[in-house]
Structure 1
Amino acid sequence: MTGTKNPSRVLLVTALLLTGVRCNKNTVFVYSTVGGDALLPCTSLVTADCSLISWTFFKDGQVRFTYEVSGGQVRQDSDKFSRMSITSNCSIHLHELRVDDAGSYMCLNQGNTITAVYLSLLTITSISKVTDLQLGGKLILSCVLFTYYDAGSCKIYSSVFSLRWATKDGTELPRDSRYEMTDQTRCNITLVTKLQRDDNNRKWRCQVDTAKKHRAAFQDFTSTFLLHNPSTVQALLPSATMHCHVQLPISRIVLCVALPFMVVIVGFFTWRTDQRARASTNGIELQELN
């Protein structure tokens, strides 16, 4: 098993090194987000007959690739069967993307590779505790790009893209004492910041840029304050030295006293009426018997 796996991985890395440097027209890098969609194009088609087209998928860590499409049809034994469709130009459309979808896809025409597509997926995870999501708390966001060959850590030769934290309009966050970038690698950057009042319902963006400074994909995270700042809540409460007596309006006091009394009176008269009706009925029955 080891002797079979290692050569295949060496060949894969070598191929990626070559394509990453040359970037010919048959090599395509696609970026999307977990939960999103992606279109994997099959380029340089000689014929529009998709029955001649197959697609394979390879993920780092696997022993060999798997066939996802055969004869222009999505294979039913594919784990992507319900989320994958073939377009009119033989490309792949993937829905509801998962982390495991990241990898290399090959479009083959009668067994010959014509397009290599490398799919990378972006995701943001909050590491903060629930009690930290308040004014003055610490927000920790981890942004990871799951790539086609080294998800989350990325070797230095992956120079076709870069990852960065940005504002909602795409401007890179300033390098100051408020924003701290930790554990920063090419495919894994963590943002640490102290929440301010304006950060409630604010969007924080992690962005993928290509080597040509083109924004390829981004993911937003909204920081919502789930707890009130204890100091702020205390400031809104009455001070212990203030004597605030609760006073009810006179009308409410009268109503509270009169209502039970009225209920008793109504109950008494209802009882008396019932007694008289029973006595009258008994008198009529006695007369009839006589």
Structure 2
Amino acid sequence: MDTQAGILLRVQLITTLYFTGASVYGSSVSVYSSVGGHTTLSCANVFYPNCSSTTWTHSSDRSETTELVELGKISDTEKAGRLRVESDCSLHMNNLNTEDAGLYTCLQFLYKGAPQHGGDAMVYLALLSISPSPPVIELRPGSTVTLDCLLYTYYGHGNCSRYAYNRVSLSWVNETGTELQVDPRYQVKHTSSCHSTLTVTLQRTDNNRKWRCQLTEEGEVKISDSYTTEWSDFGSGRMPSPTPTGSTRTRGQGSVAILVSGVSVCVAVCVVVAVIVTYKRRRAGKGHAENHNMTNQHTEQNTDTVTYAVVTHSTARPREKDRDTAEHCTYATIKTAN
């Protein structure tokens, strides 16, 4: 009965892998994802359906074997936030990083301390990544950028010379998946089947453009990753930005602004003077009513006096050719009696 269940489970696993883009090689499976993404690794030798017998381990050509799941429970505390055991005992991982690439083995133990039950179910996880080399500080039209497309595998980054990865190839494609056409501003270099670089001289039309690296295995597309070149016209050192509408000021407009401000000052000062004079006139009128007779006696002897205010405003130090057009504010004259 267990044998029949195992056969059915393997058939189901193969069917699932076919539709998810993974590859089966003998007793191992190759799965492809991208750095920062997520993936689910299926277990082909589950014994207890409740996963209480399932253990997951991880290893690479550069590191020792680490236990991630023990008898259905997450045991790696450092990665616990990124791992989850699914209902079918598969291992789900998110926020993948380059160190997650490697060999994942699903093992069965009927109880803690028991010998291993059955064989290993191995899953090789390879991660695709694109990054500028060297790191880009600033992008703008006319600058040159080199993008590294690397596949991280069990054997290290860019190493696909062994086992299943010798069937893999990388290519640079556009948004529609078509390989980039020959262009003088493109330079593509293949260091290995798992390492390719694209050097491009940017144009204005490349702003917010995605440069996509595509991985194929025996001609079948498995995974792709992209890098977006984007920049803003604002900021020092970047391409000059068009002046926002309404903020452009010509020379004539600057003179008009100065003239308006000067007139405003003149008006304000004149208003203050008028208020003061009005106040004096009211006081003078009151005194005139009280001393009408005395005023009549001295009227012929005293001449009228004039109180006036002079307010002058002009543009500061006008140039020689602009002196004729410098703005001036004349004075206001108000006649009052002592």
In 2, Cα distance between equivalents of 1:78 and 1:152: 29
Corresponding position of 1:263: 268
Shift of 1:182: 2.6
> Residues 40, 252 of structure 1: CA spacing in aligned structure 2 closer, same or farther, 3 A cutoff?
same
Deviation per residue, 1:196-245 (Å, 9 max, x gap): 3432221100111122x2222111111224569x9x969x99xxxxxxx7
> Residues 115, 267 of structure 1: CA spacing in aligned structure 2 closer, same or farther, 3 A cutoff?
farther
Give the TM-score taking structure 2 as reference length.
0.62
2:23 is equivalent to residue 52 of structure 1: no
CA contact (8 A) 2:141 2:204 kept: yes
Shift of 1:262: 2.1
Shift of 1:174: 2.6
Larger Cα-atom Rg: 2
> Residues 255, 161 of structure 1: CA spacing in aligned structure 2 closer, same or farther, 3 A cutoff?
same
Give the TM-score taking structure 1 as reference length.
0.72
Match of 1:248 among 253, 259, 274: 253
Shift of 1:35: 0.9
> Residues 267, 67 of structure 1: CA spacing in aligned structure 2 closer, same or farther, 3 A cutoff?
same
| Higher relative contact order (Cα pairs below 8 Å, separated by 6+ residues) | 1
Corresponding position of 1:8: none
In 2, Cα distance between equivalents of 1:175 and 1:44: 48
2:79 is equivalent to residue 74 of structure 1: no
1:195-214 alignment to 2 at 5 Å?
Answer: 195-211=202-218, 213-214=219-220
> Residues 275, 161 of structure 1: CA spacing in aligned structure 2 closer, same or farther, 3 A cutoff?
farther
TM-align CA RMSD: 3.5
> Residues 48, 96 of structure 1: CA spacing in aligned structure 2 closer, same or farther, 3 A cutoff?
same
CA contact (8 A) 1:124 1:141 kept: yes
In 2, Cα distance between equivalents of 1:130 and 1:251: 46
Identity %: 33
Residue 205 of structure 2 aligns to a residue whose secondary structure is helix
CA contact (8 A) 1:84 1:95 kept: yes
Corresponding position of 1:98: 97
> Residues 66, 254 of structure 1: CA spacing in aligned structure 2 closer, same or farther, 3 A cutoff?
closer
Deviation per residue, 1:118-168 (Å, 9 max, x gap): 111111111367587333322211111111223223325532322221112
Corresponding position of 2:65: 65
- Where does structure 1 lack aligned partners over 5 or more consecutive residues? 1-20, 238-244, 278-290
Letter in 2 for 1:195: L
> Residues 202, 29 of structure 1: CA spacing in aligned structure 2 closer, same or farther, 3 A cutoff?
same
Letter in 1 for 2:74: V
Shift of 1:258: 1.5
Residue 251 of structure 2 aligns to a residue whose secondary structure is coil
Corresponding position of 1:189: 196
Tell me whether 186-195 or 121-130 shows the greater mean CA deviation. 121-130
> Residues 65, 136 of structure 1: CA spacing in aligned structure 2 closer, same or farther, 3 A cutoff?
same
In 2, Cα distance between equivalents of 1:173 and 1:226: 26
Corresponding position of 2:140: 134
CA contact (8 A) 2:47 2:53 kept: no
CA contact (8 A) 1:85 1:94 kept: yes
In 2, Cα distance between equivalents of 1:106 and 1:274: 99
Corresponding position of 2:36: 35
Corresponding position of 1:169: 176
CA contact (8 A) 1:132 1:139 kept: no
Match of 1:150 among 141, 146, 156: 156
In 1, Cα distance between equivalents of 2:95 and 2:264: 63
CA contact (8 A) 2:56 2:69 kept: yes
1:115-134 alignment to 2 at 5 Å?
Answer: 115-127=121-133, 133-134=139-140
Residue 50 of structure 1 aligns to a residue whose secondary structure is coil
> Residues 178, 113 of structure 1: CA spacing in aligned structure 2 closer, same or farther, 3 A cutoff?
farther
Match of 2:229 among 223, 240, 244: 223
- Where does structure 2 lack aligned partners over 5 or more consecutive residues? 1-22, 110-115, 244-249, 283-338
